[in-house]
């Protein structure tokens, strides 16, 4: 009787992975500290212990929003409020 052919030898096992460190966690963007614009010093004047606002504030937006002075009008860049100057 003939013998059946021997089964092929098992495939070599894959080499064990070495201790691989996980990739570093993604870092978010660094928060930037808000800078004070040098233009802000044109909006206020210091008198003793108090501040005087040199420009008119927007009646819609409230404190901190100033109206831009044009030749014939005052306008707010935030909410588009416009008031015309009386000539």
Specify if 19 maps to a domain: no
Segments forming the whole domain that contains residue 43:
38-84
Specify if 12 maps to a domain: no
Q: Is the per-residue pLDDT at 64 higher than 80?
A: yes
- In the chain, how many domains are there? 1
Q: Write down the pTM of the prediction.
A: 0.51
**Contact indicator for 61, 78 with CB cutoff of 8 Å:** yes
Give me 18's structure tokens: 């070495």
Q: What integer is the mean pLDDT of 23-30?
A: 76
* pLDDT grade for 5, boundaries at 50, 70 and 90: confident
Specify if 58 maps to a domain: yes
Mention every residue, 6+ apart, whose C-beta is less than 8 A from residue 83.
67, 73, 74, 75
d(CA 83, CA 71): 12
List pLDDT tens digits, range 34-44: 887 787 788 88
């Amino acid at each position: 009787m003939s013998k059946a052919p021997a089964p092929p030898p098992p495939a070599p096992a894959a080499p064990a992975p070495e201790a691989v460190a996980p990739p570093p966690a993604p870092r978010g963007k660094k928060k930037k500290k808000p800078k004070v614009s040098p233009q802000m010093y044109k909006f206020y004047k210091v008198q003793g212990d108090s501040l005087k606002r040199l420009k008119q504030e927007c009646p819609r937006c409230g404190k901190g929003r100033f109206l831009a002075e044009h030749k014939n009008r005052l306008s707010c860049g935030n909410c588009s409020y416009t008031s015309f100057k009386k000539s």
